[in-house]
Chain A
Amino acid sequence: MHHRKAMLAALTLSLGTLSLGAVALAQTGLQKGITIAFLPKQVNNPYFATAWKGGQAAVKEFAGVGKQVGPSDAGASSQVSYINTLLAQRQKAIVVSASDQNALVPYLKRAMSQGVKVVTYDSDVAVGGRNVFVSQASADTIARDQVRILARQIGSKGEIAILSATPNATNQNAWIKVMQEELKKPQYKDMRLVKIAYGNDDDQKSFTEMQGLMQAYPNLRGVISPTTVGISAAARYLSGSPYKGKVALTGLGTPNQMREFVKNGTVQGFALWNPEDLGYLASYAAAALVSGQITGKEGEKFSAGKLGQRTVGKDGVVILGPLTVFDKNNIDKFNF
């Protein structure tokens, strides 16, 4: 074992003198050829495609072997069969965004017992189901920021609604809970949450749900849609309706999806973290786990390429950072 490590060190050292890239490799101390599989909730979803772009870029930097697999429907049971498949393929690490908080846990535990490192990103699983969770931002920040943005747009007054994804999406539900708490604060006393609707992360369903909201609540002043599918469908409905510019819409969206609605005045501003960075960070976390640099304990540090050094927080959570707000002044600087 020691012998092998020494050889590896010598090898990386000698390679390090050869090229700049290899120097970076020697500095990060990551193993080469680590196999990492991304398992998003859904393939063919632009958000996860962008996250995978970042994940793949990181894998390239540390000379690993990466791939993305996953179901085309957002059901937890379909993710389970992929976990089993990745186990059979002897992947070193699985980076997963969980469709269900609990359903995947027994299978991920089985994977970890066979030495596979498990990183969750975007949507976590229950305790014991993973080594590290790479979180977009803390649930508190994400939820409070969205309430704050909407409050500014409607002058902190009037009826508001939430258009979420599926009723059991772990992350959405956590945010909604914080939003409900946040709205109890004195500065929001004139804002009233009248309805939480679910568009199931389906474009058409979200569109009709938004339509339904406007019909059911004629006094609605604003809507928060904390899902990229929901906010763009809602914006499409608003931009073709008499409510355009009168009813505020904010939430979490990608600049490419929302650009036209920001420019035509339907949406003033919305927020998101950078999903590409999220995937990038998740890849590095997985590689650091496989290389034995971290185990998921609080206080451990690892280097995450261009994102610099990161620290594992409480309960094995690694936080990407604060949200970015996109509006007509900055939206053209982003392309994802």
Chain B
Amino acid sequence: MTVPQPAPPPAPQRPARSLLGWETTILALVAVALLVGSTLSDAFLTGANLSNLASNLVEIALIALTMTLVVIAAEIDLSVASIVGMCSALLGVLWAAQVPMGLAILGALGLGALAGLLNGWLVTRLGLPSLAVTIGTLALYRGLAYALLGDRAVADFPPFWTNLGFGLVPGTQLPIPIVAFVILAVVTAALLHATPFGRSLYAIGANEVAARFAGLRVGRTKLLLFVLSGLMSAFAAVVYTFRFSSARADNAVGLELSVIAAVLLGGVSIFGGRGSVIGVIAAVFLIGIIQNALTLADVPNEILTIVTGLLLILSVLGPNLAARVRAARQRRSTLAGPKGGAP
């Protein structure tokens, strides 16, 4: 894994350094988790187990990519898991109605983009807070999922497609969906860290009014973010449906919380303007590694839940503490500065 170019952030306090600091912490924690995991169980550091571990995370990892962009722009999308359910249901309905699989997938992706468009429209055109809007559409899209498929499940997908969901790249232990994830992760990282569009997200997230005055098309950018988020959720829905060979209205219930937890733990500021793709990916895997290692070591469920909870608190606490330490350092250096330099 290569660390992408650190973002050139517009915020005044040079958050690049602090960001790098938090990323390093998360990557170090991943290393520690791998180490502890391997001492907890012999079965942990095996190709097959790591392959399963990655496979289990793929939907969260996918959606976390676009969620990173959304949260950096100081918005949030809580409807992602419901979009997964709705698109999974549509995929099932279309396939059951004997629509060719290629078209059915396109239909599901289209519905996801449309759902994102509605979110974006409500946020940008009506000026509603995304938190409120997407809590609403969280219920709406889940409801539509049940309207589409009811309590039925569609399962008779052809092996070719289900194998794309849970199969491995021939001759390796690499789950096929992970390949798609790696490609999308590189694209997202490049988009965020190496294009004017990416820089504009940081600017919008750090100070929307200033970004507007600087001539950035804030509304259009945010609209696009929500569409991307919907589209990615729809793609995750296709992966989920094939991975479990089961299209159901209640697929991925509660997944939005895991996604947002990973994004925050990855160092993306909930207030926008700060964060990186690599930090989020590391966080997704940190949570996954911890849960996998503890499960392998037969640690009871309650402990697992407690550890996850503590991680989440750390995700809010960590960057905050880092910021305070940084501020204190800066105070010291400005106090020390004049003594040595200016008269």
Contact = CB atoms under 8 A, between A and B. Distances in A.
Interface of A: 43-44, 67, 69-73, 75-77, 80-82, 84-85, 87-90, 100-103, 105-107, 126, 166-168, 173, 198
Given A43-B301, A87-B48, A198-B151, A106 B296 contact: no
Interface string B31-48: 000000000010110101
Given A168-B151, A198-B151, A77 B244 contact: yes
15 contacts: A70-B301, A72-B305, A75-B253, A76-B246, A77-B240, A81-B52, A81-B56, A82-B295, A84-B55, A88-B43, A88-B44, A89-B43, A100-B244, A106-B162, A126-B155
B296 A88 contact: yes
Nearest to B159: A106
B154 to A, nearest CB: 9
B248 A168 contact: yes
Interface of B: 41, 43-44, 46, 48-49, 52, 55-56, 150-153, 155, 162, 166, 240, 244-246, 248, 250-254, 291-292, 295-296, 298, 301-302, 305
B301 A84 contact: no
Contacts of A101: 153, 155, 246
Contacts of B246: 76, 100-103
A168 B153 contact: yes
A236 to B, nearest CB: 25
A80 B295 CA distance: 12
A102 B244 CA distance: 7
Nearest to A71: B301
B160 to A, nearest CB: 13
Contacts of A87: 48, 52
B151 A80 contact: no
Contacts of B166: 106-107
Contacts of A77: 56, 240, 244, 251-252
Contacts of A173: 151
A88 B155 contact: no
B41 A89 contact: yes
A102 B301 contact: no
B326 to A, nearest CB: 38
Contact of A84 (B52, B251, B252): B52
A211 B119 CA distance: 35
B155 A85 contact: no
A272 B31 CA distance: 50
The 5 closest A-B pairs by CB, nearest first: A167-B151, A102-B155, A103-B244, A84-B52, A88-B43
A80 B296 contact: no
Given A88-B46, A168-B153, A67 B250 contact: no
B56 A89 contact: no
B244 A84 contact: no
Contacts of A76: 244, 246
Contact of A85 (B150, B151, B296): B296
Contacts of A72: 301-302, 305
A81 B292 contact: yes
A176 B252 CA distance: 26
A106 B167 CA distance: 9
Given A75-B253, A87-B48, A167-B151, A102 B298 contact: no
Contact of A69 (B56, B153, B298): B298
Contact of A80 (B56, B162, B254): B56
Q: Which of A75, A77, A85 has the most chain B CB atoms closer than 10 A to its own CB?
A: A85
A100 B253 CA distance: 14
A89 B155 contact: no
Nearest to A164: B151
Contacts of A107: 166
Contacts of A43: 301
Contacts of A102: 153, 155, 244-246
Contacts of A88: 41, 43-44, 46, 48-49, 52, 296
A90 B56 CA distance: 19
A67 B55 CA distance: 25
Nearest to A100: B246
Given A69-B295, A84-B55, A167-B250, 12 more contacts: A71-B301, A72-B301, A76-B244, A80-B56, A81-B52, A81-B292, A88-B48, A88-B52, A89-B296, A102-B245, A105-B245, A106-B245
